[in-house]
Amino acid sequence: MRNFPAEADLPVYQDAGRYDAEHWWKVDDLAFWKAMAGEFGPQVLELAAGTGRLAIPVLQAGATYTGVEVSEPFLKLARDKLTAYDQQACLIRGDIRDFHLKKTFDLIFIGFNSFLHLLTDADAQATLACVREHCHSDTHLIIDIFVPDPLFLYRPKNKRVPAKNYPDPDSGAPVKVEETNRYDPDTELNHLRWYYSKEHEKDFLIIDFTLRMYFPDTMDRLLHDAGFRVLEKWGDYQRRPLDENSDLQIYVAVVGQ
C-alpha cells in the first residue's frame, strides 16, 4: 500500500452537510451522468464519490454503483442517502491513487473536478494506473474537469471575489463565500482560500485548499501514457466538442492506443 491518506484528508471535505448546502446550484451534470450510466453501464465505478450526489442519477439509470471516497463524513452522508438502493450501491473508503477492488467495471468516472485534487503528475499517473487495473477491453473512462481560465489564474493576489451563496444548513441564514487565489505557473497549482461570512459574522470560517490546473495537452499526455485512447473530448454536458470557448473538458477514453 502506498501512503497517501494525510494529503487526501482535505479540510474542505469534512463537513458533508455544508458541502451539499454549498453546492445546491450544481445540478447541470445530473442528467449527463444518468445518460452515461445508461449508455456505458451497467457496472459503474465513481472515483471521489463525495456525498453521493452523482450516485443517485447513476442508480436512477438502473446501473449498479460503486463509489470510492476518502472522507469519512462524506461517506456517512452518502450511505444514508443510498439506503434505498441497498442492493445496487456500494461505498468504499479509499484513496483513488491506491485502490484495488479486484474486479472490472463497464464505466469508471471522475466527476465534478475531483481530478484536480491530484496535485502532481505522479498522483494522476497512480490514479490512472489504478483505473487501468479495473478496466476490461470495453470499459469507458470519463473525466469531467473545468478548463483553467486565465482570468481566474492571474487575478490580483489577495483580491476577494464572490464565489457563492448558500443557506446555512442548520439555521437557513444566508452565507456568503468569497475567494482569493494564488496561482503558481511552475507547479500549475492554484492555492485557494474561501472566506465564509454571515450578516453579523464576517469570516466565521476560512478554508484553504489547492487544485492542480490541468490543461488539455496535459490530459492528452497523461491518458496516453497510462494506456488510454481518447474517443471523445466534449466541452459541455450537451456533448459539444471541446473548443476555445469551452468551460469544461470532458474526456471519454478506453484502454488501447
Ligand X SMILES: C[S@@+](CC[C@H](N)C(=O)[O-])C[C@H]1O[C@@H](n2cnc3c(N)ncnc32)[C@H](O)[C@@H]1O
We find the least distance from the C-beta atom of residue 36 to ligand X, in angstroms, to be 13
Compute how many residues bind ligand X; rule: CB under 6 A: 20
How far apart CA 78 and CA 67 sit, in angstroms, is 9
For residue 125, state whether it binds ligand X (rule: CB under 6 A): no
For position 213 contacting ligand X by CB under 6 A, the verdict is no
- Quick note: the x/- pattern for ligand X over 61-100, rule CB under 6 A, is --------xxx--x--------------------xxx---
From 16, 10, 117, select the one nearest 73 (Cα to Cα). 16
- Min CB(227)–ligand X separation in Å: 21
8 A C-beta contact, residue 173 and residue 196: no
Cα of first residue to Cα of last residue in the chain, in angstroms, is: 29
d(Cα 104, Cα 42) in Å, to the nearest integer?
12
Instruction: Provide the H-helix boundaries in 10-161.
Output: 16-22, 30-40, 55-60, 72-81, 121-133, 150-153
Smaller CB separation from ligand X, 189 or 198: 189
- Binding-site member from 36, 44, 54, 223 for ligand X (CB under 6 A): 54
CA 109 to chain centre: 9
Contact between 148 and ligand X by CB under 6 A: the answer reads no
Residue 13 interacts with ligand X (CB under 6 A): yes or no? yes
Interacting residues with ligand X (CB under 6 A): 8, 10, 13, 48-50, 53-54, 69-71, 74, 95-97, 111-114, 117
